[in-house]
Structure 1
Amino acid sequence: MPNFYFHTDNAKQALDAIANGLSSIRLSTDLNLSEQDFALSGQCLVLDADNQLSIDTLKSIVKKTQRIYLCHDGAMTPLEDRSTGYYKLVPTAGAPLLEISGVKMHISKGTDPFTSASAMAQQAVRKGDKVLDCCSGLGYAAIAAHRLGASEVLSIELSPEVMGLRALNPWSNDLKQAGIVQRQGSSYELINTLPAASFDAVIHDPPRFSLAGELYSEEFYREIFRVLRRDGRLFHYTGNPHVVKKGSSFVDGVIHRLKAAGFRHTQKVEHLMGVSAQK
């Protein structure tokens, strides 16, 4: 059975079309990846034989501006997980972003999460590289690295809740491509099991410091240094554009610890809220 994804924007498009007496409408129901035509019949949007959305249902979707609904097999469920916090996918003009307990986990202002993750990958990844993607989230950076020509990408994500959401996210489908390996677990622990000098590039996109301070430690940076090959490249997302721009003690501390771990050519990358470095 196909999946259909709905949020404020495409529900409003459908309501406007019904109000204007149209018999069909062209919509994206895969979160901006493609568009197709759907029938409007009897004050309903007809997705297929099992999924028809009434005006009342569409109006209820419009009201929830920060939520995405999955329509499948006649049922409609929000893309969220409240088991150990509040994890959800939030619509944008491009790829959806991940939000955890109210905190947006992507750069999305003036761009979209997939585009910004791709720019992060471009900072470190070259064609033919073997890439380690720590704290992979929805897997956008891993997919971008693969599209840049990486020969292999190891994607590590701690949260089973995040992995559950990305399994339902059409923008994460390319994680199934040959050459991308997904592992669930702690980057802090798993990196110790990886061979020395086994990666050409590392993308490190940890949660904020208050949630995962160990992923900003000199000890962890030494492990990244260890698994990188000579001249290997690192891009480390640090977050908070104002902090990066002003050169706060926090980002300066990150750079100091990277240098102490052996990295060279460390520099702030302001537009991506991070730091690049080289072994």
Structure 2
Amino acid sequence: MLGYYLHSINAQQALEAIAKELSCVRLSTDLNLSERDFSLSDQSLVLDDDNRLSIADLKKIAKKTQRIYLCSDGDMVPLEDRSYGYYKLVPTSGAPLLEISGVKMHISKGTDPFVSASEMAKQAVSKGDKVLDCCSGLGYAAIAAHRLGASEVLTIELSPEVIGLRAQNPWSNDLGKEGIVQRQGNSFELITTMPAISFDAVVHDPPRFSLAGELYSEEFYREIFRVLRPGGRLFHYTGNPHVVKKGSSFVDGVIRRLKAAGFRQVKKVEHLMGVSAQK
């Protein structure tokens, strides 16, 4: 572990324990992957010999409900990147989600970002499949595909800011497992270099249309069709549950372009805000 991950909820738990004059408090400091007991001493949370958080520190963390702090080597640093736009990890009751300039990159309402990404992977991936994950993000869909028994997962991410954040996210650690290949680059360009009929399944979870319209184009869908084997499956996240449910020019346009690219059995998957299709 890189350090200790603190956010509003576990900081508040520590403050409440200090107020009750308890000697220890049970917390998750790895973003809900596990829990352990930590000492409370001299009105402070003692993470280890080098990392002690005062009441003032804990109150600062508790006040920022949409932020995660990494505590290590005596420092307390928010998990964010402001070098280009505003990228940050946001706490949830499960895995953290990625937010870019105020836009959440995961389905999180009523579910957990890792769970929803796993459900997306299940729409397309079967055991033994070779899988292409076009827009990796924090890598949740790629990890889920690997856990479903995929023989190999190629996962692509363009943004160095996202790659930097996921390197600090404990939920993304399994991207380093054998069988997952990570590449940095533009999926629109990289897919043209891939051999035909080389994947059994594709998971496509692109940024919103205004940021990456080319990833919703018939030209790109034709490339996905080309690299899929006959019978291969695609799940394509499109976003906005109301739009998917009621139908719209946007989602209908996605479906129309997928069919024009050659896909069949193109269906809306309402609860995952996306579309499934088969070659």
User: Which TM bucket (shorter chain)?
Assistant: over 0.9
Q: Distance in 2 between matches of 1:187 and 1:40?
A: 49
Q: Which residue pairs with 1:115 in the alignment?
A: 115
Contact 2:244-2:251 at 8 Å conserved across structures: yes
Q: Which residue pairs with 2:105 in the alignment?
A: 105
Q: Which residue pairs with 2:276 in the alignment?
A: 276
Q: Distance in 1 between matches of 2:66 and 2:181?
A: 31
TM-score by length of 1: 0.99
1:2-21 alignment, distance < 5 Å: 2-21=2-21
Other structure's SS at 2:239 match: coil
Other structure's SS at 1:168 match: coil
Q: Which residue pairs with 1:200 in the alignment?
A: 200
Q: Distance in 2 between matches of 1:112 and 1:127?
A: 23
1:21-40 alignment, distance < 5 Å: 21-40=21-40
The 4+ residue runs of structure 1 with deviation greater than 2 A are none
Other structure's SS at 2:256 match: helix
Q: Give per-residue Cα distances to partners, 1:149-176, cap 9 Å, x unaligned.
A: 0000000000000000000000000000
For structure 1, which runs of at least 5 residues remain unmatched after alignment? none
Q: Which residue pairs with 2:179 in the alignment?
A: 179
Q: Give per-residue Cα distances to partners, 1:225-247, cap 9 Å, x unaligned.
A: 00001100000000011110111
Deviation at 1:190, TM superposition (A): 0.4
Q: Which residue pairs with 1:149 in the alignment?
A: 149
1:1-279 alignment, distance < 5 Å: 2-279=2-279
| Residue identity opposite 1:273 in structure 2 | M
| Residue identity opposite 1:149 in structure 2 | G
Q: Distance in 1 between matches of 2:253 and 2:71?
A: 46
Sequence identity percentage: 82
For structure 2, which runs of at least 5 residues remain unmatched after alignment? none
| Residue identity opposite 1:168 in structure 2 | Q
Other structure's SS at 2:67 match: coil
| Residue identity opposite 1:198 in structure 2 | S
Other structure's SS at 2:141 match: helix
Q: Distance in 1 between matches of 2:76 and 2:61?
A: 10
Q: Distance in 2 between matches of 1:85 and 1:209?
A: 17
Q: Distance in 2 between matches of 1:194 and 1:47?
A: 47
Q: Distance in 1 between matches of 2:152 and 2:176?
A: 12
Other structure's SS at 2:127 match: coil
Other structure's SS at 2:137 match: coil
Q: Distance in 1 between matches of 2:144 and 2:72?
A: 28
Q: CA RMSD in A?
A: 0.6
| Residue identity opposite 2:179 in structure 1 | G
Q: Distance in 2 between matches of 1:249 and 1:224?
A: 22
Q: Give per-residue Cα distances to partners, 1:165-191, cap 9 Å, x unaligned.
A: 000000000000000001010000000
Other structure's SS at 1:106 match: coil
Deviation at 1:34, TM superposition (A): 0.2
Other structure's SS at 2:167 match: helix
| Residue identity opposite 2:151 in structure 1 | S
Contact 2:131-2:200 at 8 Å conserved across structures: yes
Deviation at 1:2, TM superposition (A): 4.7
Deviation at 1:218, TM superposition (A): 0.3
| Residue identity opposite 2:218 in structure 1 | E
Q: Give per-residue Cα distances to partners, 1:86-126, cap 9 Å, x unaligned.
A: 00000000000000000000000000100000000000000
Contact 2:2-2:168 at 8 Å conserved across structures: no
Q: Give per-residue Cα distances to partners, 1:30-77, cap 9 Å, x unaligned.
A: 000000110000101000011000000000001111000000111110
